[in-house]
Amino acid sequence: MQTQLAGLWPPASTPFANDGSVDKARLVSHCRTLLDEGSTGLAILGTTSEANSLTLDERRGVIEACVDAGIPATQLLPGTGACAIDDAAALTRYAGELGCAGVLLLPPFYYKNLSDDGIFAFIAKVIERAGPKVPQIMLYHFPQMAAAGFSIPLIGRLIKAFPGVVVGMKDSSGDAANTKAVIEAYPDFAVFPGAEVYLLPALQWGAAGCISATANINARGISDLIAKWKTPEAAALQEALVAIRRSFDGFVTVPAVKAVVAAKYRDDVWRNVRPPNLPLTETERQTLLAKPAVAALLEAVAA
């Protein structure tokens, strides 16, 4: 069964009020803006969303806030990763019961030197305990952050063991060769690069779309390339995406994205992050906002 998951699914940043609580009103407003700017759906509760700095109740609350505000559950792809099997299963089950498009599932990300057998056993238990309404599962491959990942043989085992359930992967390895290899090994598997820097070739190889941190501030540009990747404009669109993404090099991604979101909305509350993340210093913020590609993007938004 081939998944219908495709297009741009931004890992929506989570706004925090000045008291540190999740600001659901700003969250919903931001999610609506991302959809208005061409996103297919929303990969809420991802790494850029600071999901692992939220309690399970807060993560449920983020999903619930979106649905209660009228965003269809079918446009939500929440991250449900956790080191405890039952925590990951509970969030996955909750997403399935609401009718979410699917979930993004990390491997257990604390233990090191895990075997494929161990990761397979973990994912299998999560699926089993999520119950009969288990949603489609997108594997979340981010080895440099999680210290564990999904090898190509392991992906094949999971597809075979859970047909119609394990249907795709976000590849945040930053390794274009790995993205291409997964697509070639499993042509009906929905593979999403975790950054837009090689999105055009990935789409040419057969990628389903993109799930990128900087979609929080450039959803229109990324969705435009996804719509036009077969046209003569594609190379120029890709070049523009790379210029924006590379502007973030040298900055911590989460607070840097939030600094630009804050500038876009002219709302400094958006600069709030949860420790261990810290907001950019004022010097860092000014340096980032002055980057030519970022400045041009913000100028276009203000126009």
Token pair for 5 = 């998951």
Cβ-based burial of 228 (10 A; exposed 0-12, middle 13-18, buried ≥19):
middle
Which strands sit side by side in the sheet containing 103-105, from one edge to the other? 103-105, 137-141, 166-171, 190-193
- Alpha carbon distance 182, 187 (integer Å): 8
Q: DSSP 3-state assignment of 104?
A: strand
- Alpha carbon distance 178, 68 (integer Å): 38
265 is catalytic: no
24 is catalytic: no
Token pair for 3 = 């998944």
**Which residue among the candidates 14, 40, 47, 48 is catalytic per the annotation?**
47
48 is catalytic: no
Angle at 283 between CA 282 and CA 285, to 5 degrees: 65
**Which residue among the candidates 94, 140, 214, 258 is catalytic per the annotation?**
140
- Alpha carbon distance 271, 256 (integer Å): 9
CB 247 within 8 A of CB 291: yes
Looking at residue 52, its amino acid is N
**Which residue among the candidates 3, 24, 94, 170 is catalytic per the annotation?**
170
Among candidate residues 225, 253, 246, the one with its CA nearest the CA of residue 293: 246
Where in the sequence numbering do the catalytic residues fall?
47, 110, 140, 170
